[in-house]
Chain A
Amino acid sequence: MFDSIIQNIFNGLQWGSFYSLIALGYTLVYGVLTLINFAHGDIFMVGAYIAFFVATFFLKAASGLPGWVVLTLTLPLTMILTACVGVTLERIAYRPLRRKGANRLYVVITALMCGLILENGNLALLGASRKSFPELVDKVIYTTGAVSMTNLKIAVILSAILVFCLLQFIVTRTKIGMAMRAISYDKFAVPLMGIPIDTIIVFTFILGSSMAGLAGLLYSMSYPILDPYMGALIGWKAFIAAVVGGIGDIRGAFFGGFLLGFVEILVVAFFPSTFRDLIAFSILLLILVYKPTGLFGIAKTTKI
């Protein structure tokens, strides 16, 4: 019993790491732009596919390479290419609308549409056949008692924590992070201070999308079946996790993702698996009813 609890905690940590990585991207963009970037889940999907293509390319082009070399080549490339996808979306779809001063909700709808284009464009171009991700690193299983850990699981959890620390450092300790916080605080005064708004926003998208790319790579290494709709549900859930944590707050997104991961794993451990979404969302709704601004969110006062 005790062993199974420990095992479930590790599984929850791993599952929560993916949610956290995606929720961090949501939160970054929302914090700076107050825009719900609904295409983010699909950017995660695109990241997984980019990782697949890059990895298979390296395995084919240089068949003698050991797996860890391929991985170290794939990781930065995936992050860079996924960041390019995110920035492209921002440049093509969101920026013109922002320049025109369109209603915020129209930008959200555009984001939804971009997500649909990415999903179905992928399905239409690559066909419905599921791709299986090549195994890059040999699985090492550490067992202590009845608890089994794989090296991949540990890597996933560690990378989520590292990314969180990195983002926290960037946002709170660097100049560009200060600019990001300034934009979210007052969008109109910032350009007057000589801060290039567009550059900061692009940087935000680069950060968020590369996190999604990293999540896509790790996800496809852990669950090596790719399909075009894999990002949709995970994206929605990660967004909800970010809001439960308190949207616009990096700690909130991180803990919200882990909370959702834990809740889902525990529900599956004790109930039939069809109840997973039902119970997880009900718990999140209860949290939101009691804490409307999320766990870390600060209630905003309205000036009259």
Chain B
Amino acid sequence: MQRFTVPALLGILLLSLVSLSYYEMIDLYIQSVIMFIGINIILSASLNIVNGYMGEFACGHAAFMAIGAYVTSVLNILLFTKDKFFGPALLPPEMALYFFPLTLLAGALVAALAGSLVAIPSFKTRGDYLAIITIAANFIVTSTIINVDAIGGARGFMGMKKIIYAMEDVVELPWMLIWVILSTFFTVWLIRRYVSSTYGKGIIAIHQDEVAAEIMSVNTNQMKLVAFMVSSGLAGLAGGLFAHILGYINPGSFGILKSTECLVMVYLGGMGSLSGSVLSAILFTLLLEGLRFVIPQINTLMHWMHLLPDTYQVSQVWKWVIIPLILVLVMQFRPEGIMGNKELSDIFPRLKKFYKFK
């Protein structure tokens, strides 16, 4: 029975969240926070393959997210809605329910192909040159999107909400929540399976010593290519979900800042620790959303204590000062991140009965 504990728990979690949203016990804001937690888990766990397990330094994760977001959105708009540019719907809108996972998958696949393009230069280069290639790729992707007028250019691209409404017309359920949670489960499952397999051990071997791994018959080029493709494909999946939650995307939201957020989550959780990635994504999102409410409180407190002149208000900009400060302090006291290189089972060995972490 112990084998089924974790899947059962996850199923109960999914059902309870969906039913709570369905009976409107949790409002839309909390739902969206849950969805962003899911997306951030996907982003941080997928970047952890390249940056944590493989020990490379890729900092252009948002590029693949952008590719996934745009491909999924354009496909859905093309297939199911009437659009000025893309013409009338090719399929009846009721079909959106069945085709949505397929379009998500298509976005992920295109992002994975883009990831393979970025991975090819990384065969020859070492270390920091990969950082450059990925940063440049990020800039290239965003400026390409800006220059393509068909998908809105710098103005952005919208109309994804119609797809959600079309899905909800068929069956009245919080569909986006369901898809995000399922994708998150799928991502964590896939990465754990991949990294703990015999094949995936090659990634960790590359991290330890690339030359030795090559001598011990690990096909390093193939390993790098596959790791990059899995990582960027999952980022594309996250992008597709992100686009449909917001209903509006623009190239500015997939800039270097988004990539930096992904990097922060990976290194805050710890390199090469899947549970660390999940935990840090949850923490990071809650911190971001929590500060929204804390900052006005701080503002009133400071004014009440007469620490500030009346003309100066503590604005929401301070959020992006406080979060980096917290992170810098965390790095000072725990330079290896929250979990370091460990999984939850290393800290709580009893968990091994229910779930194999490695």
Query: Could you list which residues of chain A lie within 8 angstroms of chain B, going by C-beta atoms?
Result: 30, 34, 36, 93, 96-97, 100, 102-103, 105-106, 108-110, 112-114, 116-117, 119-121, 123-124, 232, 236, 239-240, 243-244, 247, 274-278, 281-282, 284-285, 288-289, 292-293, 300, 302, 304
Whether A123 lies near B317 (C-beta < 8 A) is: yes
- Residues A109 and B147 in contact in the complex (CB < 8 Å), given A120-B317, A281-B139, A288-B133: no
B129 at the interface (CB under 8 A from A): yes
Taken residue by residue from 137 to 174, chain B's Cβ proximity to chain A (1 for < 8 Å, 0 otherwise) reads as: 10110011011000000100000000000000000000
Q: Which of A103, A239, A277, A288 contacts B125 (CB 8 A)?
A: A288
Q: List 24 A-B contacts (CB under 8 A).
A: A96-B332, A103-B335, A105-B51, A106-B331, A106-B335, A106-B337, A109-B263, A109-B331, A113-B327, A117-B324, A117-B328, A243-B129, A243-B132, A277-B139, A277-B140, A278-B143, A278-B147, A282-B140, A285-B133, A285-B137, A288-B121, A288-B129, A288-B136, A292-B124
Give every chain A residue within 8 A of B321 (Cβ-Cβ): 116-117, 120-121, 124
CA distance A285 to B122 in the complex (A): 12
B57 at the interface (CB under 8 A from A): yes
Most buried by A among B124, B132, B318: B132
Q: In this complex, what residue of A is CB-closest to B122?
A: A292
Whether A304 lies near B211 (C-beta < 8 A) is: yes
CA distance A97 to B321 in the complex (A): 20
Whether A105 lies near B136 (C-beta < 8 A) is: no
Q: Which of B125, B135, B144, B328 contacts A110 (CB 8 A)?
A: B328
Q: In this complex, what residue of A is CB-closest to B118?
A: A285
Q: In this complex, what residue of B is CB-closest to A282?
A: B140
Give every chain A residue within 8 A of B215 (Cβ-Cβ): 304
Whether A240 lies near B132 (C-beta < 8 A) is: yes
B336 at the interface (CB under 8 A from A): yes
Q: In this complex, what residue of B is CB-closest to A113?
A: B324
> With contacts A113-B264, A113-B331 known, what are 7 further pairs, Cβ within 8 A?
A34-B128, A97-B332, A110-B331, A247-B128, A288-B129, A292-B124, A304-B211
Give every chain B residue within 8 A of A239 (Cβ-Cβ): 132, 135
Q: Which of A30, A285, A302 contacts B136 (CB 8 A)?
A: A285
Query: Could you list which residues of chain B lie within 8 angstroms of chain A, going by C-beta atoms?
Result: 51, 57, 121, 124-126, 128-129, 131-133, 135-137, 139-140, 143-144, 146-147, 154, 211-212, 215, 256, 260, 263-264, 267, 271, 314-315, 317-318, 320-321, 324-325, 327-328, 331-332, 335-337
CA distance A43 to B178 in the complex (A): 45
Give every chain B residue within 8 A of A120 (Cβ-Cβ): 317-318, 320-321, 324
Give every chain B residue within 8 A of A119 (Cβ-Cβ): 320
Whether A105 lies near B57 (C-beta < 8 A) is: yes
CA distance A16 to B263 in the complex (A): 30
CA distance A276 to B136 in the complex (A): 13
CA distance A117 to B264 in the complex (A): 14
Chain B proximity of A80: nearest CB distance (Å) = 25
Give every chain A residue within 8 A of B256 (Cβ-Cβ): 232, 236
- Residues A106 and B125 in contact in the complex (CB < 8 Å), given A97-B331, A274-B147: no
Chain A proximity of B55: nearest CB distance (Å) = 8
Q: In this complex, what residue of B is CB-closest to A116?
A: B324
CA distance A36 to B127 in the complex (A): 11
Whether A108 lies near B57 (C-beta < 8 A) is: yes
Q: In this complex, what residue of A is CB-closest to B331?
A: A110
Whether A36 lies near B128 (C-beta < 8 A) is: yes
Chain A proximity of B250: nearest CB distance (Å) = 14
CA distance A182 to B315 in the complex (A): 47
Closest 3 CB pairs of A and B: A102-B335, A113-B324, A120-B320
- Residues A240 and B135 in contact in the complex (CB < 8 Å), given A36-B128, A124-B318, A304-B211: yes
CA distance A34 to B127 in the complex (A): 10
Q: In this complex, what residue of B is CB-closest to A272?
A: B147
Give every chain A residue within 8 A of B124 (Cβ-Cβ): 292
Most buried by B among A105, A281, A284: A105
Whether B143 lies near A277 (C-beta < 8 A) is: yes
Whether B135 lies near A236 (C-beta < 8 A) is: yes
CA distance A96 to B331 in the complex (A): 10
Whether B132 lies near A278 (C-beta < 8 A) is: no
Give every chain B residue within 8 A of A114 (Cβ-Cβ): 324, 328
Q: In this complex, what residue of A is CB-closest to B125?
A: A292
Give every chain B residue within 8 A of A278 (Cβ-Cβ): 139-140, 143-144, 147
Whether B129 lies near A293 (C-beta < 8 A) is: yes
Give every chain A residue within 8 A of B139 (Cβ-Cβ): 236, 277-278, 281
Q: Which of B212, B271, B327 contacts A103 (CB 8 A)?
A: B271
Give every chain A residue within 8 A of B126 (Cβ-Cβ): 300
Give every chain A residue within 8 A of B337 (Cβ-Cβ): 106
Give every chain B residue within 8 A of A36 (Cβ-Cβ): 128, 131
CA distance A240 to B132 in the complex (A): 6
Q: Which of B135, B315, B328, B336 contacts A102 (CB 8 A)?
A: B336
Whether B121 lies near A289 (C-beta < 8 A) is: yes
Give every chain B residue within 8 A of A97 (Cβ-Cβ): 331-332, 335
CA distance A288 to B118 in the complex (A): 12
- Residues A275 and B147 in contact in the complex (CB < 8 Å), given A105-B57, A110-B328, A282-B140: yes
Give every chain B residue within 8 A of A285 (Cβ-Cβ): 121, 133, 136-137, 140
Chain A proximity of B323: nearest CB distance (Å) = 8
Q: In this complex, what residue of A is CB-closest to B335?
A: A102
CA distance A282 to B331 in the complex (A): 35
Give every chain A residue within 8 A of B263 (Cβ-Cβ): 109, 112
Give every chain B residue within 8 A of A110 (Cβ-Cβ): 327-328, 331
CA distance A109 to B326 in the complex (A): 13
CA distance A103 to B273 in the complex (A): 15
Whether A113 lies near B136 (C-beta < 8 A) is: no
Q: Which of A93, A105, A123 contacts B328 (CB 8 A)?
A: A93
Give every chain A residue within 8 A of B314 (Cβ-Cβ): 124
Give every chain A residue within 8 A of B133 (Cβ-Cβ): 285, 288
Whether A292 lies near B51 (C-beta < 8 A) is: no
